[in-house]
Amino acid sequence: DTGVSQDPRHKITKRGQNVTFRCDPISEHNRLYWYRQTLGQGPEFLTYFQNEAQLEKSRLLSDRFSAERPKGSFSTLEIQRTEQGDSAMYLCASSLAGQGAVGYTFGSGTRLTVV
């Protein structure tokens, strides 16, 4: 297992288009998190899953955003009708429940540019 994988690494899309990102966590990790990082800022929490259940969503996650983790393994984050303000780095992280911050592992992120 080589860690948390995210795909694609970069995505350029036209305003109004839908985009979908994928995150593959560390295989034994049952928690998966999505964060968004805009230029010059630290990451901001969007949502997290424990297994396939989405347990928490940030107010940052508007109706245009949806995340799924259908089988409790990989997760997808979809943004519908993209806006220029959605341009950011989207980071995924995973961890094992009960271990707190130990082993919390980040992916390399998907950089989204909306033109």
Partner 1 sequence: KNEVEQSPQNLTAQEGEFITINCSYSVGISALHWLQQHPGGGIVSLFMLSSGKKKHGRLIATINIQEKHSSLHITASHPRDSAVYICAAKPNTGNQFYFGTGTSLTVIP
Q: Which residues bind partner 1 (CB under 8 A)?
A: 9, 31, 33, 35, 37, 40-45, 48, 55-56, 89, 91, 100-102, 104-109, 111
For the CB of residue 61, give the shortest distance to partner 1 in the complex, in Å: 12
- Give the number of other Cβ atoms within 10 Å of residue 79's Cβ: 21
Task: Kindly state the smallest distance separating residue 65's Cβ from partner 1, in Å.
Answer: 16
Minimum distance, C-beta of residue 41 to partner 1, in the bound complex (Å): 5
Query: Which residue number, 35 or 65, has a Cβ lying nearer to partner 1?
Result: 35
Nearer to partner 1 (CB atom), residue 70 or residue 100: 100
Per the CB < 8 A criterion, the answer to whether 7 and 22 are in contact is: yes
List phi, psi (to 5°) of 112.
-105, 130
Number of H helices, E strands in the chain: 0, 11
Structure tokens at 8: 């694609």
